[in-house]
Amino acid sequence: MNTPRHPEYQYLDLLQDILDSGTRKELFLTPEVQQEYRDRGEDLPHIKSVFGRQLRFNLQDGFPLLTTKKTFSRGIIEELLWFLSGSSNIKYLVDRNVHIWDEWAYKKYRKCCSEEGLPDLTQKEFIARLKEEPADSDYVKRWGELVTIYGRMWRRWPASDGREIDQLGWCVKGLRKRPFRKSYVVSAWNPDFIYDMASPGNANEVPPFCHTTYQLSVTHGNRLNLGLYQRSADVFLGVPFNIASYALLLLMVAQVTGLEAGEFVHTFGDVHTYSNHEAQVREQLSRDPRPMPHMKLNPGIKELDDFTFEDFTLEGYDPHPPLKAPITNVGGY
């Protein structure tokens, strides 16, 4: 009898594929970011990428939180709750000591420092002030605001008539009444907020929506599946978060619609590793996957907006030690 291959090998195979056959590409880095590398005496990073790959995880087999390195599960949960709130200000995350979006807010501040004569704060000082200030302060409203972020597009898509459309809410409502429909799609790709296509005031330093769209679809009568298309994927740092985040979203939507969680299908466009992550990638490839954990949700929660951090319990997670690597601040305008 053949033992089924551990689902995590899909991810490890993708890492190896990029190392073996990836194409070298240069990165778009703003002058401010380039200068930071020069100040540190470091070479500018580049990427190796492949195009068009797919991973599949059946949530009946366990929760796909990678075990070949410890992954920040608290940050994944808090970030997803932030997305689901529809907020585009990082104050919620900063207050909870989740700093995965700090660089993007600080990048905007740094760009304006010389133009407006602002205090030359370090990123640590900048974030400390965001945490100290009340949510309604002018400082938080301006510098904590990312404008173009997933939660806003999922829950508050700006319509041409001034409305804010709750795309995900519409999907949940539909899945409860007509689960057989094929139109439950949530899009984050909004050209009105992307680089030189953006309307005045909408352009932002945050890269345009890496997770462009996802679809919720029911098979086998009551099995809910989620398919994500990701146009750009940092496979070492970002993708482990993305896998777990969308798998968790699938569990949540399945619970509030009375359906059974099925497959998370992760489809990539450009999927890549960064040159300053290569040593960590090779270390991860030397490790064998361990049993997948399980994520338990509070069964009493019946609406997406009612979930809190305390409603999630991760069981049986025994990963290898963490592998740290720098975030490369790409994009801008």
The sign one gets for the Cα dihedral 138, 139, 143, 146 is negative
**Catalytic annotation, pick one of 112, 113, 171, 210:** 210
Give the contacts of 292 (CB within 8 A, at least 6 positions apart).
6, 7, 8, 61, 62, 63, 64, 65, 67, 316
- The DSSP annotation for 64-84 comes to ---SSS---HHHHHHHHHHHH
Distances (CA, A) of 326 to 153, 195, 275: 27, 24, 11
State the Cα–Cα distance between residues 289 and 256, nearest whole angstrom: 31
Give the contacts of 27 (CB within 8 A, at least 6 positions apart).
44, 45, 46, 47, 328, 330
State the Cα–Cα distance between residues 258 and 179, nearest whole angstrom: 10
Residue 171 annotated in active site: no
Q: Which residue has the tokens 């997305």?
A: 83
State the Cα–Cα distance between residues 185 and 207, nearest whole angstrom: 22
Burial of 132 (0-12, 13-18, 19+ CB in 10 A): exposed
Active site residues: 210
